[in-house]
Structure 1
């Protein structure tokens, strides 16, 4: 089999012929079919990110879709021939207060994640990949969708997990801060699918916000942010006819807290706010306003396995369509072009690596 390997960060990816592994106990072999690339893949490979890299040489790649070809001893619910999605967010199953966590093919998360990362260092950019059974999500009942379409589930999983953590209820008003980003745009569509009556799409660029609004059948209201906390919070409240039930912050690498604070200040009394962005500066909280209004501020990372299964169920039922994602496909051997493209795409676009079939 062939696999893209990274000997160490800063060195180029190399396509190598390696032995096909066998599934260890509790693990599954997956013949990969489609792998979406993160927008920051180039920076990651260059070693420019403060990540805990797997021990090299290793195969990068986080999410993906493929078909099971072998199951190891102790795997009871998966079978050969079954199509699955790879969920890279892996948590140790040991019953301890703080189990180790990693993102397969990307980084360790917890301080004690080294051994877990060493057990499963390889990601999805290989023809056949071994994963613990706990890292797979069954895709039964989705035969109508191609694997490269299903690879875009990864775009929805993170915001979907955050919206569920925020306890979004059908009929509520939701504000999505950073709505034109890769995950923020998916958050808008996910909130609609979950039954939000109104979704306020917050961002700085009017054009992309208007494009999102056209997809919402009148339920998406664009709000162009100015960077002025007071002006923006007033605009959000006005668009929401008084305030929002749930604010969802998905702004990437923000160097100012103003838009996040504006979204917070737009909440109704006893409203909730979920933080899932990557702001690089502290968030100064209005202590008195938080207290008087009973606001709930929730920090959230990634998603639970149950969230991913619920997401798949919504796609299966037709409640959430993946058709809105524009997929740009690249063959397995054109990895460099795919990585370059991933760094330029935005919003509802995705770069997906596809694998040759026998």
Structure 2
């Protein structure tokens, strides 16, 4: 009979606990154990998102989370304990954690582990409130088997002189940021050689979309208002051309059409883009039988060019997050060196903080929303 295996774990560990909205503090909590369907991971570094401060002080529109709970949505670490039904993960294995949890008996039940539930699904609320209340801002985290992905440590962290890529754990913590855009791009079957608009394109997740689309072999039209940030992307990422958006539909449409035939468009608009006109311009620029992926968090309805969509036979697809196969494929791109990380492509770990300095980490992360920037909590 299979049994739980573990390293010698302490009875308690440090964690950042959100007691209620506006009240977060470091506490000593019981170290989780590995139950069937899970592993326990010793967290090395956890990503601090720019919206972290807003989530815990005032909340995000449409996001629900239980209290008290341990936040934290993306991290890297090592397996410290395995449940009785674990078949491939091993103790001390180097892993990355994915926050997108789906119900095992109903994949329509979805939550962002360590953040909350969008959309008010009672089953998702119950799943988070019960089994997966606690996220990754802790020395040890219990993770669903499906959300724990093994990384090839010798390739990713090995010396370049020995055929490795020479990445640090801190750099590798960024990998899951690419998964969101990758899921959207795969959902519309982006192919090498095609041309895609990414707009907006200069934020942390939208900049990652530009990079991953280029890594897939596409020509990318990166469109945003910040021309300086656009030019930086174009200088660092292959096959990227840029357009500064002016906020005028016809002018922006004309600028996009100057690039020739456009096969697809990926939108990842943030909350702040509720009043933007770029979605309409970009949709109208896509060729006949082209594809559009909507992945943003705009909370306001947009005026879709209805007749254009009909006459051009556009496929418009909404996409929330990604599939598990997308994550496996993404990791292969990184391990093969096709999707590059680190300083050579303009990435920067802006700062690393200990858990007790979480307030500083939240403040610094809030100020660095540009593509390639990352703030970490080191556990």
Question: TM-score, normalised on structure 1?
Answer: 0.93
Matched, 1:246 2:264: yes
Q: Which secondary structure does the structure 2 equivalent of 1:280 belong to?
A: coil
1:351 aligned residue: 375
1:174-323 map, 5 Å: 174-196=196-218, 198-217=219-238, 219-238=239-258, 240-241=259-260, 243-253=261-271, 254-323=273-342
Conservation of the 8 A alpha-carbon contact between 2:247 and 2:276: no
Alignment of 1:104 with 2:104, yes or no, is no
More displaced, 337-346 or 276-285?
Answer: 276-285
The reply on whether 1:115 has 2:115 as its aligned counterpart is no
Match of 1:135 among 116, 140, 147: 147
Q: Provide the residue aligned with 2:15 in structure 1.
A: 3
Q: Which secondary structure state, in structure 2, belongs to the residue aligned with residue 263 of structure 1?
A: helix
1: CA distance, partners of 2:208 / 2:117? 25
Deviates more, 1:106-115 or 1:159-168: 106-115
The alignment partner of 2:42 has SS state of strand
Q: CA RMSD in A?
A: 1.5
**Corresponding position: 1:34 with 2:49:** no
Residue 163 of structure 2: aligned partner: none
Measured after TM superposition, the shift of residue 161 of structure 1 is 1.1
SS at match of 2:332: helix
User: Cα distance, 1:115 vs. partner?
Assistant: 2.1
Q: Is the 8 A contact 1:227 1:259 kept in 2?
A: yes
Q: Which runs of 5+ in 2 are unaligned?
A: 1-12, 159-166
Match of 1:341 among 364, 368, 377: 364
Tell me, yes or no, if the aligned pair for 1:82 and 1:138 is still in contact at 8 Å.
Answer: yes
Distance, in Å, in 1 between the alignment partners of 2:187 and 2:90 is 31
C-alpha displacement at 1:130, in angstroms?
A: 0.5
Please, which runs of 5 or more residues in structure 1 have no aligned partner? Answer: none
Q: Which moved more, 1:17-26 or 1:109-118?
A: 109-118
1:14 alignment partner in structure 2: 25
Contact 1:181 1:251 in 2 (8 A): no
Change in CA separation of 1:48 and 1:26 when aligned onto 2, cut-off 3 Å: closer
Cα offset, 1:255, TM superposition:
2.4
Contact kept in structure 2, 1:170 and 1:194, CA below 8 Å = yes
Supply the distance in 2 between the matched residues of 1:274 and 1:337 (Cα, whole angstroms).
36
CA–CA distance in structure 2, aligned partners of residues 354 and 80 of structure 1: 21
Q: Which moved more, 1:313-322 or 1:45-54?
A: 45-54
For 2:86 and 2:43, how far apart are their aligned partners in 1? Answer: 19
Q: Secondary structure at the match of 1:81?
A: coil
1:266 Cα deviation from its structure 2 partner: 0.6
Aligned residues: 348
Tell whether the 8 Å contact from 1:257 to 1:282 is kept in structure 2 after alignment: no
How far apart, CA to CA, are the structure 1 residues paired with 2:55 and 2:79? 28
Contact 1:257 1:281 in 2 (8 A): no
Q: Deviations over 1:233-253 (max 9, x none)?
A: 110110x22x31011112212
Find the counterpart in structure 2 of residue 77 from structure 1. 88
* Residues 52/205 of structure 1: CA separation in 2 closer, same or farther (3 Å cut): closer
**Structure 1: which 4+ aligned runs deviate by more than 3 Å?**
50-54
Post-superposition shift, 1:225?
Answer: 0.5
Separation in 2 of the partners of 1:177 and 1:289? Answer: 19
